[in-house]
Amino acid sequence: MFKKVLIANRGEIAVRLIRACRELDIPTVAVYSEADRNALHVRCADEAYCVGPPPSVESYLVMDRIVDVAKRSGADGIHPGYGFLAENPVFAKMCEDNGITFIGPSPAAIEMMGHKTVARETMQKANVPVVPGTELLDDDDLARSAVEIGFPVMVKAAAGGGGKGMRIVHEQKQTEEAIRAARSEAKSSFGDDAVFIEKYVEEPRHIEFQILADRHGNVIHLFERECSIQRRHQKVIEEAPSMAVDEDLRMRMGEAAVSAARAAGYWSAGTVEFLVDKHRNFFFLEMNTRLQVEHPVTEMITGVDIAKEMFRIASGEKLSIRQEDVTMNGWALECRIYAEDPFNNFLPSPGVIQTLRVPGGPGVRDDSGVYAGYEVPLYYDPMISKLCTWGRSREEAIDRMKRALGEYVIKGIKTTIPFHLKVMSNEHFLAGDITTSFIGDKFILETGEHGEGLRDVSLVTAALQMGRRTREGVSVSGQRDKGMDAWRMMGRRSRWVM
């Protein structure tokens, strides 16, 4: 196992990984930008080093600086979390070249699966179903291919992800402009304007399979996650398992996910993402060569600690479980809580968290990177926590989520808690009638053109929370001289290195 691990990330995922290291008795090193000097992950780690100014391109994305900190601190492993450098093959190779273990897959696997057209070709050779599409072509050939494939089609950036460089084209006259716009966004987002075209799968569900693979050729899957509820191609609510997947489909998709990992020569934790159409046909979408944001729901239904498995695999150990050992117990949901204003087009809401009360009780888990008194910066992704619930059934998990969301008190900034409460009461969501267009087709329209329905839920929830706070007199101060501060939350203090 590792002597010391550097966590090359921030926020809730950095805290999550520090906790995993704590359980494995591995000392940790945090890195932080000047904007994150007082961040929770800095306070939780054993050591912390500043790596630059607030912009991520000057701090969290500076590979040389991260590796230098690892060497100075004596860390023999680096875990990248997700985002930032997690799927950067150059960084993975740089770690290797400096005698540091990259806690993730090989640089070759990251590069192969990170380029969507290469990934498509690899999956086709492995007999994994893929959506009909093209290779990289010039604009004229792409336009002709769109007609041949048949509308609607999706123009997609070959590099990157997260919904960037994507355009849906419904008719021929839109094709040229969509290609130009996708190329421009891909260039600005990923430094690569290569795009290709795929058939647009109508009424799709986004279902992904968690896989684990070691360096000894063992590959297993941990069942599926339903990730169809998305906003602007970004997941906002996930659950495991999926109501759309029966045992036969689960077996076939699981086998395809394992085949995909083997075809990529993959080790570590990873996720194979599929689109499932209304006829229950499934198609490979992409492979995320990292720990997923939504990994907790899989952990809750399987009992497998995915983060700790990543550390064991990276240290050369064999998987601690076999496929036949993996069982499914109950249902789990995850709501991504963002510092955004759901009543103002989900604009970011940075600022100081004045009061924080985190929900608890049976079946509730909150992976967070904040505390009372913490200032949410404007430089990074506005997700502040992942609220998860488990139940013996989907209905129980939803009821617990409603209860937990109602208990969650965050004052000083706007959050998406009212949005999640509204989804949890939506009749289509409750029936499992969801696709990737759920928010636009079956949610926003129900709340009215200006979101009156959502606002009504928010007002009721706010009134209930105010009543609870008035009765109970509960308030958590962010000042260190008033009660427990964030330094004590993880049981020991950190040593800062400037």
Any catalytic annotation for residue 290?
A: yes
Q: What tokens does 49 get?
A: 């080093």
* Residue 470 CB coordination number (10 Å): 9
Q: What tokens does 12 get?
A: 């809730």
Per DSSP, the three-state class of 352 is strand
Q: How many residues does the chain have?
A: 498
230-268: string of b/e by CB count within 10 Å (b at 16+)?
bbeeebbbbbbbbebbeeebbeebbebbbbbbebbebbb
311 φ/ψ angles, rounded to the nearest 5 degrees: -65, -40
Contacting residues for 193 by C-beta, under 8 A, at least 6 apart: 183, 184, 186, 187
> What is the Cα–Cα distance from 117 to 158, expressed in whole angstroms?
6
Query: In terms of Cα–Cα distance, which of 397, 362, 426 is closest to 240?
Result: 397
> What is the Cα–Cα distance from 453 to 77, expressed in whole angstroms?
49
Using the Cα atoms of residue 443, residue 241, residue 161 and residue 282 in order, give the sign of their dihedral: negative
Q: What tokens does 105 get?
A: 């897959």
Give one DSSP letter per residue of 195-257, joined into a string.
EEEEEPPSS-EEEEEEEEE-TTS-EEEEEEEEEEEEETTEEEEEEES-TT--HHHHHHHHHHH
Cα 410 to chain centroid, rounded: 22
Please tell me which residue in 225, 250, 290, 365 is annotated as part of the active site.
290
Query: In terms of Cα–Cα distance, which of 127, 124, 82, 73 is closest to 100?
Result: 73
My answer on whether omega of the bond before 107 falls inside 30° of 0, hence cis, is no
Strands 234-240 and 331-338: antiparallel
> What is the Cα–Cα distance from 160 to 177, expressed in whole angstroms?
21
Q: Catalytic residue numbers?
A: 290
